[in-house]
Copies of this chain bind each other. A is one copy, B any other.
Amino acid sequence: MQKTIALDAMGGDHGPKVVVPAGLQVLRKYSDLNLIFVGRKEIISPLLQQTGADVSHRWQIHHAADEVGMDESPGLALRQKKDSSMRVAINLVKAQEAQACVSAGNTGALVATSRFVLKTLPGIDRPAIIARFPTLSREKEVRILDLGANVDSSAEHLCQFAVMGSVFAQAVDNIPNPRVGLLNIGEESIKGNEQVKQTAELLINNKSLNYIGFIEGNTLFEGKADVVVCDGFIGNISLKVTEGVAHLIAHYARRAFSQNWLTKLAVLPALPVLARLKKQVDPQRRNGAILLGLTGIVVKSHGRAGILGLASAIEEAILEIDKNIPRLIEQGLEKR
């Protein structure tokens, strides 16, 4: 099946300098893929000039004069940036000229614009951001949602997120009967805030879900659950705390080894192992958070992603197209 993905070429901290080479890299890997680079033609075009003839018939440039800034208000972007690369890329999905869109741009603007242009699926009030994280168990990953598409979600919203996460784990990652947990500050049923207590009640009574109860922050990465549901405020803070801690530990390790010539020498034989380790835990290697609950496919890359990271986000979009995830979520909701 031929597929087409629209890339927000101007999005992210690096813009076309990263998006264009990442796109070409993925184009060479998938012969049934077409890409539309959306953004300022005068900037994108020179970057594409040296493309080999092997893929040059499978990409095109779609000019968009404007850009959404990384710190811009989502509301303003939605109202005033109607010709931004992000908006036009999403419009292409709406117009069915592309089956998915990938952007490394402003998360808030991407959520607001996608929701406005593509609309949520019937039965879904709000989209949610989902991503995968490694666990202690070698083969298992944990999917967490919502990572920040919304704040102040109701119990009913969180229950919709649980259904979407479960369908995602089953359909995209081939996990039969995914174990769904709810993020909380304890495992006992008496603990938690009002939002969590109300959500737990809905989840227990939802027969379409394999709900396994509460998951605490420290057991999030133990592989006990395949899907963990939380409010977008909590999810986003947890995601960023994860980043912060990893950074802090790396910093301490560097400091310990660079203390004197003896400690510097001590690390030398370990360097190849450390390089491999870094690769394993590098978030770039599994970059690409997915907006679930919309009528079309939107993948969000980390704003700081490099070529490898952006290529991985594009590959995530290919996977979503192959599985037709919006249709599967719609079916999953009907079964409730």
Contact = CB atoms under 8 A, between A and B. Distances in A.
A252 B280 CA distance: 8
Given A193-B152, A257-B273, A136 B248 contact: yes
A56 to B, nearest CB: 40
B238 A256 contact: no
Given A248-B135, A263-B273, A266-B272, A108 B191 contact: yes
A240 interface: yes
B256 A273 contact: yes
A265 interface: yes
Contacts of A46: none
Contact of A234 (B71, B237, B249): B237
Question: Most chain-B Cβ atoms within 10 A of its Cβ — which of A152, A191, A239?
Answer: A191
B151 A193 contact: yes
A257 B238 contact: no
A53 interface: no
Given A136-B251, A185-B237, A269-B266, A244 B257 contact: no
Given A221-B244, A252-B280, A256-B277, A188 B239 contact: no
A233 B193 contact: yes
Chain copies in the assembly?
Answer: 2
A237 B192 CA distance: 11
A267 interface: yes
Interface in A81-101: none
A240 B257 contact: no
A1 interface: no
Interface in A213-268: 216-222, 232-234, 236-249, 251-253, 255-257, 259, 263, 265-268
Nearest to A222: B244
A332 interface: no
Size range of the interface on A? Answer: 35 or more
A334 interface: no
A276 interface: yes
A154 to B, nearest CB: 12
A194 interface: yes
The residue in A138, A190, A244 that gathers the most chain B C-beta atoms within 10 A of its C-beta is: A244
Given A136-B248, A246-B249, A233 B277 contact: no
Nearest to A216: B240
A280 B256 contact: yes
A267 B280 CA distance: 18
Contacts of A247: 136, 218, 221
Interface of A: 71, 73-75, 108, 134-136, 138, 148, 151-152, 183, 185-186, 188, 190-194, 196, 216-222, 232-234, 236-249, 251-253, 255-257, 259, 263, 265-270, 272-274, 276-277, 280-281
7 closest A-B pairs by CB = A217-B240, A151-B193, A218-B240, A217-B241, A185-B236, A256-B277, A218-B243
